[in-house]
Structure 1
Amino acid sequence: MESSIHTIACNNLLVLFAVVTMTGIICSKLSELLKIPDVVLFLIVGIFIGPSVLKFIDISQYQVENQLILTFGSAFILYMGGKEISLKVLKNVKVSVLLLSTLGVVISAFLMQQIIGLTFGVSAMVALLAGSIISSTDPATLVPIFNQIKINKKVSQTVISESAFNDATGSILTSAVLVIILSGKFSLQENMYSLTLMIIIGLVVGLFTGIILLALVNEGPKGIFKDYTPIISIISVIIAYELSTKLGGSGYMSCFVVGIVTGNKQNFKLWLSQKSYDTDCHVVETLGTICRMCIFIILGSQVDLQILAKYFIPSVICVLCFMFIVRPISVIPCTLIDRKAKWKKNEIIFMMWVRETGVIPAALCGIVTAMNVSGSDVISSVVFMTILITLIVQGVTTKFVAKKLGLLLEPNPEEATNREAL
């Protein structure tokens, strides 16, 4: 009897995975035709195939699997975000990126705490938790957008670097607020100490894990596992996350740092063969795509339309305040302080506009919802509307805004001729 129950549960889980991934593939193709971010369709379709409408999937029966998808998925996407960071470009704008991904996140979180608290009438800590979750931007959305839209490298690398770094900061801040809510204790000194410790341990573990495991797949005598590069990449995320968490650090920060090491391996005198590099890229991109599909579709399936309708107007008000008030306020001091970067007015305005919310906030919201934290209905409503509105409005208009601000790079005529010839 027990065996048959487990078999049925296993079969149901396999069907659920097949439905989610097939739905994700269809949405990805539609997004190409409609020219909108795929995660928007993932979310919307997730609602329709979830318990609220068509009841095709219901992840509530699989809490462990749900937690696994959210935790590993967000960690792996942070790893991919780290790989997109160029240390050479980062050197020129490092102060701005550092401020945007730390001070900017904190400013956004605490300003949104005030707005969410006033709009919804929830406790300060619930409002701060919601503000912390949505305070980071999304490399998984921004990277594909900037691959399609060629703009000033200084601006695009800054925005991408900020999105990758602030995902880690937002994750750490969310974890800290969550600990305070669950323990019921607040001590500024203790929490600052814990936060600092989480960051330091996360950085150190990520650095050593990245270098050691990358050395094992290096093109040379020491690269004894170079034929298994994609598997080592996946294992590096798991090891970095688990080891950092066990030592009291930020697992997300560690995964991000491993990604930076992997993406800038030449700086560490490490190299991959072309075969290993190509194989690794294909596997990592494929797994990353699956993670994005699962996170967003499952998040959409967990949306309660009654709660969303109940909090629709205050949620929209919060998102509009976030886009047009909070984001500009967080960008201005971070860019003006960095005199060496010599930011122009049009570049600053563009960075104010581009702040899509995506994968990590979605994953963090899913974790909070699964834990049944007080006020989770308000939090999920705010997070969902923030993701949906910022992705639709800002994601779709990025090229238009860049062109209006004079940041869009015109294609080289010779390159265009060569592409036509090919």
Structure 2
Amino acid sequence: MAARDHPPNKTTSYFSSSRSFIFLLCLASLFLAFSLFKTSILPAAKQQQLQQSTETTTSDSEGGASGACDFSDGRWIYHDSQAEGSGSSHLRYDETCKEIFKGWNCIGSKKFNALEVVKWRWKPYLCELPQFDPLLFLDRFKNTNIGFVGDSLNRNMFVSLFCTLKRVSSEVKKWRPAGADRGFTFLNYNLTISYHRTNLLARYGRWAANTNGGALESLGYKEGYRIDVDVPEGTWEEAPNFHDILIFNTGHWWWAPSKFDPVKSPLLFFEKGTPVMPPIPPDVGLDMVLKHMISLVQKRKQPGTTIFFRTQSPRHFEGGDWDQGGSCQRSKPLSPQEVEEFFSIENNGTNVEARLVNKHLFKALKGSSFHILDITRMSEYRADAHPSTAGGKKHDDCMHWCLPGVTDSWNDLFIAHLNNIKS
């Protein structure tokens, strides 16, 4: 007699279903816990940004637009192209670029980590910042004049751009627009880039007490530096009439007691040719200069000119300021915690200048037609990328940057913004 199939046991079926349900529930719980753990390792501010980004993306997609990425907020990722068998391809240019100031040529000066400096790539949290293509840039910006206006940190950026372009287009002629410290034209593209040196943006020079007396003399001032807050320095006053793209900066010289001693050689501010009374401190003077210079550039620039203001480049002195034995011997970027220890305004440390200057910049630029080129956050991490003792000075150079180096990424940021604006 053939055996019959037994009817299903209801009790067995019930427990089998229950076990399956519990197993799936456990899996879901583990997945949720892992997701929460991944989120928890991010800084609180980053979690909030990610949430806001999600909300923004949803909102933008409903309206048919796309949200802009914050290129300035991210992390540095080590990328050893040599290990991948590509030789020295991580170098955009090398130490033979003659425009590199000797003190910034870390490879030529054999700084201990010069070849490591360029192996770090900046990765924004919510998008990609591509390394710009110099040939595409030259082709896209034919018949264009680009001017860098500011202190030696803007020259740092100018040289980085020049050396990158020179490597792919060697037909170059030296040519300086009126007032420029240096400049070059890439002949095959009729593209000119130049650097206009100015420390304070406004005109300034030595001041001495007048024997006939005056408002400042009556307060006991005998000498100092006169800054005309409403008059541009002659090195760049014609730049807005000539350049199609301008990148401004100022900041380091405003907090420079070694150059402008508050007692022996104070900054004395003038407006409309007369002293500002009562005399004001440098930070208030900076606000006045920014107000006047931003307004002046907007009035003088040619139609269609694109203007940027670069945020402050951070310094990385440890153990004291530059004239107090401070040094910068790091071999890799700082951690987020170390960045806050270096630059928190509340800590009032040696390098606090960067964020202080930026507070003035952001306030002055609000509502203007300037585009902000925010390089501060990405640069704060790079304590490893200064010339240090290889700069050839009697003290460590923890302010300027090795070339090739961090300012190459500034130009990636600049050109990414420029492409977005032009498109």
Scaled by the length of structure 2, the TM-score of the pair is 0.29
Q: Which of the pair is proportionally richer in strand?
A: 2
Q: Higher RCO, 1 or 2 (CA under 8 Å, sep at least 6)?
A: 1
Q: Which of the pair is proportionally richer in helix?
A: 1
Higher Cα radius of gyration: 2
